[in-house]
Amino acid sequence: MGVVLEVVRIVLPVVINGGIAVFVIKRLEHQYKQGNLGKKKSKSAQNLLNSLIPLGMLIGCTIGVIVNMFLPISLLPAVSIGAGIGLLFGYFAYEIYSREGESYS
C-alpha cells in the first residue's frame, strides 16, 4: 500500500499540471484559429498582455514556496503545482485583460 501512495504522490502533480497545460494550449489554439487572440493598440499594453501567463506561473511558483514553508508538503510538488495553478490563473487574466478596454477589432 505504501508503494501505491508513493506512486500517486509522484504522478499526481504531473497529471494535474498536464491537464492544465493541455487545457490552456487547446484554448489558445482554438482562439488562434478563430482569429480572436488578444490584441491591444499600445505596445506596452500588448507587452503586458503577452506577459500575463508567464507572470502567473512565476507568482504561482512563489506561492508554492511560501506554502511549503508553512505546510508539510515537499518543495518540488509545491512549486510544480503552484506553477500549474499560476498558468491557469495567468490564462484567465489573459482572457479578462484581452477583452477589456481598447483593442483592435
Q: Give pLDDT tens digits along the chain (105 positions).
A: 889 998 988 899 999 999 999 999 999 999 999 988 888 888 998 899 989 999 999 999 999 999 999 999 889 889 999 999 999 999 999 999 988 765 555
Residue 92 backbone phi and psi in degrees, to 5: -65, -40
- Give the Å distances, CA to CA, from 34 to 7, 29, 38, 90: 40, 9, 12, 21
CB-CB contact of 25 with 53 (8 Å): no
- Name, in order, each residue with C-beta under 8 angstroms of 74's C-beta and a sequence gap of 6 or more: 68
**Cα separation, 81 vs 74, whole angstroms:** 11
Look up the pTM and report it. Answer: 0.84
